[in-house]
Structure 1
Amino acid sequence: MSRQLAQAHQELRRRLGEIRTNIGHRRLTDDVLLTHCLAFCAALTSHHQGEDDGMFSQLLRERPDLAPTIAKLVEDHGMITSILSQVRELTDRATESHGPALEAIGRELDGLAAIMESHFRYEERAISAALDGAVPDGDWPDTVFGFGTA
């Protein structure tokens, strides 16, 4: 399962990197970029909700010693959610005004990328062994590992 988690994180990194590159070089229309941005926000939100509601709950049942680590990861999710809310707000404003707000969105995504990278690395180091241990996989893997193809 740790490999699947790392692959999900890599896919999220790839998607964000692609959006950031396209914003920086204006390779796509503003509307297409904004649509991709919102789809990415939805995918990352779904991934983190699956972790919070499923994977972390399961880990805590099997490995209560991971409570401080999981609390830190959930705290990170809250910080990331806040940035995603700001990105969505900027995207909504850009869509409504039909004006170029891509620079502001790009700055938010740059900050998000840095936080995501730190969070993903910590999460993979901190819980990989537990995931690969005797942790049954309830109904959360689809949400955590397969958050859509948008």
Structure 2
Amino acid sequence: MPTSFNQSVIEEFRANAGKVGGPFEGGDLLLLTTTGARSGVSRTTPLGYVRHGDSLLVVGSNLGGPRHPGWYHNLLAHPVVQVEIGTRSFEALAVPAEGARRDALFAHVVRAAPGYGDYQAATDRLLPVVVLERAEPDGWEAPGEVRTLADKLMEVHTWLRGQLAQVRTEVDAHFAARAAHQGPGAPPAPGLGLQIRQRCLAFCQALEFHHTSEDGHLFPGIARHHPHLADVFDRLGDEHRTIARLQGELAALLAGVHIAEPRRFRAELEAMSAELNAHLDHEEEALIPLLADVPWPPAGP
């Protein structure tokens, strides 16, 4: 769809609590904001969607064209997306479905919106079905009301620990399923799926952002008032660099659509997990007492 048409739909959507006319009138429509795979620029696209349980399904139909749409390539590079439905806006983890699950979900989509079947018939490529699910890990809850910078730091650390634990759980489940394989023939190939890739990539990107913010703002701000803690901040910086190196090794294994070398990925994940959890423990021990009286959010000017 031309950019000018998209923009007019976006403006109408936001001006009318998600209701638009024209070809979308009466249909279920959302706005999907992705981060450009190469540009890093946010881009918003109006898309039809179909509900499936607690998740939303969007299809990379590109009107039956020969190539996947740009937003699909963007979410492979940056799995956390922004979704607008009606007047609500929230973050979601975008996970393309695979194999038999993709086929079942596509059949569900076609029953709700038959036009997608026509788009599939018009092209040789398999139309991607993307599941938009909540970005928080299962069972995650904020650690309580955030009133101080110490509370905020603990909230972020709790979220990071939960994300990492969920990635590890999904990886362990994959290897357990392979080990439990019974029946004739060899077990399925040991590739790791897009669910694991997308969640791990989202975690790595969130962790990188968190550490960059600490190095650029939080640590220097505290150090100005506590120069006697220079050794503490030097050690925290060294830990950040170690974790960044381990994260870079993981990222290299996430470069393709499917995770390369699953066993190596599992070993690298465990190494980063041990290093990160030890770092978070140390950072909390050193900084929480210093931040307990700093109000959050910060007071205005």
- Partner residue of 1:89? 252
**Are 1:16 and 2:179 counterparts?**
no
Contact 2:152 2:296 in 1 (8 A): no
Alignment correspondent of 2:242: 79
Q: Distance in 1 between matches of 2:170 and 2:294?
A: 42
| Corresponding position: 1:48 with 2:211 | yes
Aligned sequence identity (%):
27
AA paired with 1:5? L
* Deviation of 1:3 (Å): 2.2
CA contact (8 A) 2:253 2:259 kept: no
- Quote the Cα distance in structure 1 between the aligned partners of 2:259 and 2:200: 16
1:63–1:130 CA contact under 8 A, matched in 2:
no
The counterpart of 1:117, out of the listed 272, 277, 286, is 277
What's the TM-score, normalizing by structure 1? 0.80
Query: Deviation at 1:99?
Result: 6.5
Q: Unpaired segments of 5 or more residues in structure 1? A: 139-150
Aligned residue number for residue 265 of structure 2: 105
Structure with more of its chain in helix, by fraction: 1
Deviations 1:97-116 (A, max 9, x none): x4652222111111111111
Q: For the Cα contact (< 8 Å) 1:30–1:100, is it kept in 2? A: no
Task: Report the Cα offset of residue 137 of structure 1.
Answer: 7.6
SS in 2 for 1:109: helix
Moved more, 1-10 or 82-91: 1-10
Equivalent residues in 2 for 1:57-72, closer than 5 Å? 57-72=220-235
CA distance in 2, matches of 1:99, 1:50: 28
Are the counterparts in 2 of residues 58 and 135 from structure 1 also a CA contact under 8 Å? no
SS at match of 1:78: helix
Say which is worse superposed, 18-27 or 63-72, in terms of deviation: 18-27
TM-score, normalised relative to structure 2: 0.41
* TM superposition shift of 1:130: 1.5
* Structure-1 residue corresponding to 2:49: none
Matched, 1:31 2:194: yes
Q: What is aligned with 1:144?
A: none
State the match for 2:136 in structure 1: none
- CA shift, 1:32, in A, is 2.2
**Cα distance between partner residues in 2 of 1:126 and 1:22:** 32
| Counterpart Cα distance in 1 of 2:275 and 2:150 | 20
Counterparts in 2 of 1:125 and 1:99: CA distance versus 1, 3 Å: closer
Cα-to-partner distance string for 1:27-70 (whole Å, 9 max, x where unaligned):
8x612211111111100001101110010010011111111101
CA distance in 2, matches of 1:137, 1:52: 19
More strand by share: 2
Aligned length: 134
User: Which amino acid letter does the alignment assign opposite residue 271 of structure 2?
Assistant: G
Pick which of 61-70 and 129-138 moved more. 129-138
Decide whether the 8 Å contact of 1:23 with 1:33 is kept in 2.
yes
